[in-house]
Structure 1
Amino acid sequence: MVAKDVRERLAIIIPLTLAFFFAWSFRLFGFRDAVLAVLSGDAPTTTTSPPTSSLNPFGEAAFIQQAMAVEFPAPIDYGPIQEVCSRTPFREGLVFTCEGQHGGIGMLRNQMLKCIRYAIHGGGAIVIPSMAVRNKNDLKDIETATEMPLDYLLERATFKKHLAAGCPQMRVFDRVEDVPFYSQRHGVPLQLLGDQFEPNHPRTGLEHPRDWRRNFDAWLQKQSVHPEKQKPVHIQMEQSFLEYPVRDDGDAFVHEFGKILSFRNDTRELAAKVLYALRTRFELPIDPTVAISPNSYYGAHLRLESDAIWAWPPEQWRFSRMKDQFEEQFRHLEETGLSTVFVASGNQTVVHLFATYLRQRIASDLTARVRHVDVVTKYDLLSESDLQRLSAMTFDQQALVDFLVMFKASAFMGVAFSSFPWNVALRRHELSKYSAYANEGSDLLRDEYSVIMGMAADYPYVDSFVTSIWP
């Protein structure tokens, strides 16, 4: 009986001792949760293959879906837009249109936002903006007579949804002919420049933007027109340069207003695929659920296309000189220690020259922090079928892909005479711990995420880029 009792006790003690030993061993090695799951019966009964890399925990489809959803540092907050709209009394019988907006995506986007802001000041309805398409055979010819709808670059449904929620007092029409009683309007459309009431404003923009409504109403009276529901007035906003001081409405509005415009879904998908290829090819810690992933890749925007050299001649603009622009990019790349470089440029020859320049500089500088670089573009990272989709797009449509990839770079640098890098850097600045633009150096904009290279002395005229672009 004694022997039997001992055997029964050992049958209980030994398994418990082993379980206790393994549980504490697993706990010490960080596997406590797994052990508890097994002991509690909550462990899955089937197994799945582990990810191919610890840096790649997402499947491709899930990665792309999540990356597409992160277009801004944070989802839109309608509150600041609603507050601004509530300051202005709206009226029936007044409609603003924004036809013929021209430029690259950075300028086009800002021109549309500015036109909408004037329409809010005026208290009228808005027709969904349209744009002039660039001449594909001459990049500097941006003021063509070929008009394209908003859908050419941006999401129409998203725009209507955001504006309706952010500014419910403002009516939005697809076409000006959809305005009630438009056929009975006051004569021909009245053309108006945004800075018409302050023609001698400083380079930093309008000095009295909140007087715009009063000046506008006085101007309407001089035209001998009075907006009425059954006799509407059509205001055609012409394109003026960067003259609206965007920060006049406060930082909260600045961060949210630009979010009413969203890039085309197909370009966001292609950008997400570029990010996925960057992560898998170079094993980079890119998290699709966040705006910026640290320690992954460097974004270099090179503005050396033919239209840039024509508009900003190298003899006057330091950073229109290829070597100067390349050298500034190299110095910033050195500061970051990153070795994967994603380049955005409309000239692939420039990209190849830049890659050669980086490798030569690294080879000639034995103290260089970075000893090897991989220089890639969207053309190097997309599959053949996606490249065909990209090739079917125009110059400006393709630029949307670069914009979105640049937005998520660990570090970014561009020049000050292009609205593209300003749009990217200002959007990223929302995440910065700094409120001002130049806290870590003397560049026009330098924070922990982005640099707009050079000082004001390096550029004959860039004041308006600093003060008049919505992120």
Structure 2
Amino acid sequence: MALDKVPPTPPQKLSLDDYDFNGPYIGWPLARACNETKWQPGLVFVCDNNSGGIGNIRNFILTCIRYGIEAGASGLIMPRIQRRSEENLANIFTTGFQPFGYFFDEKHFTDSMGEFCPQMKIYNDTDHFPNADKKKQAKEFYPKDLNIDLDGCDGRGVNRHLDQFRTKFDAWAVKYENQPSVERPLTLRFKWATFFEWPIMRDGPEFAATFGDLLRIRKDVQELAAYTIMEMAKFAGQEADITKSPPKYLGVHLRTESDALGFWPNFKTQSEGYMKQAEIHKLKHAYIASGNATEGHRFGEIAMQNVGLNVTSKVDLLKGEKLKQLTDLSWDQQALVDFLVLSKSTQFTGCSFSSFAMNIAIKRHLMTDGIFSRKWISPSDPFSTLVGRFESWYGDWMFMYECMWP
């Protein structure tokens, strides 16, 4: 049967025509999910067993909260963020926890949850909810452990039977005498690393497109990123005016840091792919994000020689007090500036195995059809291209694209 009506114009979540990194907050899909849930008084989720950069940590917190809604958790401990070592980027558990505001806008998060999901109350820590002194604790909880018969399948794969999760969760609580109540609450903390588990399209495109907007980057970093884009405009010989459209540039994420895994695309594969995108889209200026300064400069030299691409970075663009503001941030906090600047690039290209690059590409994908956007299809859409064949369809890598919240 032919469609006789044009679908409504979808609300936009991101635009390349302004310096707004967020767009309007749309909370009704969250409210709908929360209103459909049967809530359990005394069940409190703890969503802090995370690590790594913004892509991983963001997805862990969101996935944990989504499971919490499904479980009917009436309480949530304000998520904390595990800070990695500055000296050894692969060492992600050494320096302890930072508050939610280390990455994110705490007021936006608490206000949005309070308005659209008030059934899940947010507490500062595990001693600040009623009868906390009588609580039981479930640590290292892993949702897929509730699945009994895997029939030979890899147990680390995506949790496909989420329609059965609540039934199995309630049965688990009875079996292990973990039924929560106001008088004897239960705190539940996920095991590391539970972050690519929930297929986002299960809740419909409108929820998938808006749920991640609970976690907005902190405002001072947004302001620094906007300033960086204006400096990028000057670098590209374009108008630097925050009231106008951002400049035209290629956004590049070069993923060759010391913690990159051996089977990821190497420097040659990435750099050739990125230069190809510059040629296809006829862009002569690029903003590069790379934690390896040597490799970043190497790419800049090769790109200029081969395709006439002028490459710069946040460290090159910022001067004086703005540069000090940047360098006062930790390594992962500085990456938040890159995350935002790359999200506003004319075209974005990055490493297919990087959760950082995936997160940017999938967030930009919302420009295809707003809150009604269908799923990302690898390796590209009109706004982004990820480089390097994604061949490792096993274990923890199996469903990153399906389970990445925009």
TM-score by length of 2: 0.88
- The CA distance in 1 between the partners of 2:302 and 2:393, in whole Å, is 24
Select the residue among 439, 452, 466 that pairs with 2:386. 452
Query: Deviation per CA, 1:251-296, whole angstroms, max 9, x where unpaired?
Result: 1001100000111112111101101111234233677568x85x71
| Within-5 A mapping of 1:48-447 | 67=19, 70-72=20-22, 74-124=23-73, 125-144=75-94, 146-186=96-136, 188-198=137-147, 200=150, 205-239=158-192, 240-284=194-238, 288=242, 293=246, 296-308=248-260, 312-313=261-262, 316-317=263-264, 319=265, 321-362=266-307, 372-432=308-368, 435-438=374-377, 444-447=378-381
Larger helix proportion of the pair: 1
- The CA distance in 2 between the partners of 1:287 and 1:456, in whole Å, is 39
Work out whether residues 101 and 108 of structure 1, in 8 Å CA contact, stay in contact via their aligned partners in 2. Answer: yes
- The CA distance in 1 between the partners of 2:196 and 2:319, in whole Å, is 38
Structure with greater Cα Rg: 1
CA RMSD of aligned residues (A): 2.2
- The CA distance in 1 between the partners of 2:287 and 2:394, in whole Å, is 29
Q: 2:6: which partner in 1?
A: none
- The CA distance in 2 between the partners of 1:251 and 1:195, in whole Å, is 24
Query: Deviation per CA, 1:367-411, whole angstroms, max 9, x where unpaired?
Result: xxxxx3221100111121111111111110000000000000000
Cα 1:274–1:145, aligned 2, differ >3 Å: closer, same or farther?
closer
Query: Deviation per CA, 1:67-95, whole angstroms, max 9, x where unpaired?
Result: 3xx223x3121111111112211121111
- The CA distance in 2 between the partners of 1:107 and 1:204, in whole Å, is 17
Gaps of 5+ in 2: 1-17
Cα 1:359–1:303, aligned 2, differ >3 Å: closer, same or farther?
same
Cα 1:459–1:93, aligned 2, differ >3 Å: closer, same or farther?
closer
- The CA distance in 1 between the partners of 2:129 and 2:317, in whole Å, is 46
Work out whether residues 246 and 468 of structure 1, in 8 Å CA contact, stay in contact via their aligned partners in 2. Answer: yes
Deviation at 1:106, TM superposition (A): 0.6
Q: Given residue 108 of structure 1, which amino acid in structure 2 is its aligned partner?
A: I
4+ residue segments displaced more than 2 Å: 188-191, 198-204, 280-290, 433-438, 454-463
Cα 1:110–1:286, aligned 2, differ >3 Å: closer, same or farther?
farther
Work out whether residues 416 and 465 of structure 1, in 8 Å CA contact, stay in contact via their aligned partners in 2. Answer: no
Deviation at 1:145, TM superposition (A): 5.5
Q: Given residue 101 of structure 1, which amino acid in structure 2 is its aligned partner?
A: N
Question: Secondary structure of the residue that 1:77 maps to in structure 2?
Answer: coil
Deviation at 1:466, TM superposition (A): 1.1
Query: Deviation per CA, 1:350-381, whole angstroms, max 9, x where unpaired?
Result: 1110011112223xxxxxxxxx3221100111
- The CA distance in 2 between the partners of 1:141 and 1:334, in whole Å, is 37
Question: Secondary structure of the residue that 1:467 maps to in structure 2?
Answer: coil
- The CA distance in 2 between the partners of 1:284 and 1:209, in whole Å, is 50
Q: Given residue 425 of structure 1, which amino acid in structure 2 is its aligned partner?
A: A
Work out whether residues 100 and 147 of structure 1, in 8 Å CA contact, stay in contact via their aligned partners in 2. Answer: no
Work out whether residues 98 and 238 of structure 1, in 8 Å CA contact, stay in contact via their aligned partners in 2. Answer: no
Q: Given residue 88 of structure 2, which amino acid in structure 1 is its aligned partner?
A: D
Q: Given residue 251 of structure 1, which amino acid in structure 2 is its aligned partner?
A: P
- The CA distance in 2 between the partners of 1:421 and 1:214, in whole Å, is 36
- The CA distance in 2 between the partners of 1:324 and 1:430, in whole Å, is 27
Deviation at 1:446, TM superposition (A): 0.9
Cα 1:106–1:436, aligned 2, differ >3 Å: closer, same or farther?
closer
- The CA distance in 2 between the partners of 1:379 and 1:458, in whole Å, is 34
Work out whether residues 157 and 394 of structure 2, in 8 Å CA contact, stay in contact via their aligned partners in 1. Answer: no
Work out whether residues 343 and 364 of structure 2, in 8 Å CA contact, stay in contact via their aligned partners in 1. Answer: yes
